Amino acid sequence: MYPEDVVMPMKAQLTQKGFIDLDTSEKVTEALNKPGTTLLIINSVCGCAAGSARPGVILSIEGAGKKPEFLTTTFAGFDIEAVKTAREHLVPFPPSSPSIALFKDGELVHFLERHHIEGHSAEMIAENLQQAYGEFC
């Protein structure tokens, strides 16, 4: 597990932008089964989370255009049981962090694995997500 003093500022980067922190299995299950659209980012301490995933997700929800109704996050290596439950909703994809998932009415409809994030700019991540919002939100 990562130390709290390392993780909390990374969590805050998203929660300060309106993302709900899913730190328990129960919160994950409730959030991902809601009717409507839910964005989930499995946050991480890695460089691609800091450089692309978090900034890209934030950029994707700013400004005009369609957006998910619910914004959620959980943290790999810290919210152990919550992340385990989240990953059960991401089958058949293997565990990946960071990763970004869009759910519609409890069904996974769009997913970015680490290899879709790593080496891509925040703007590219945002554009990918905005295209998914246009289709599913």
Instruction: Exactly one of 32, 48, 49, 112 is catalytic; name it.
Output: 48
Q: What is the structure's pLDDT at 43?
A: 96
The answer to whether 137 is a known catalytic residue is no
Sign of the C-alpha dihedral, residues 71, 36, 130, 49?
positive
Residue 16 pLDDT more than 90? yes
**Residue the block writes with tokens 């919160």:** 27
Shortest CA distance to 75 belongs to which of 99, 55, 51, 52? 99
What is the rounded distance in angstroms from the CA atom of residue 55 to the CA atom of residue 68? Answer: 17
Please give the model's pTM, rounded to 2 decimal places. 0.95
Does residue 69 surpass a pLDDT of 90?
yes
CA distance 126 to 89: 22
Q: Over the stretch 86-137, which tens digit does the pLDDT of each residue have?
A: 999 999 999 999 999 999 999 999 999 999 999 999 999 999 999 999 999 9
48 carries an active-site annotation = yes
Residue among 20, 45, 46, 80 flagged as catalytic: 46
Identity of residue 93? F
pLDDT in tens, 109-121: 999 999 999 999 9
**DSSP character string of 43-81:** E-SSHHIIIIIHHHHHHHHSSSS---SEEEEEETTTSHH
**pLDDT at residue 113, rounded to an integer:** 96
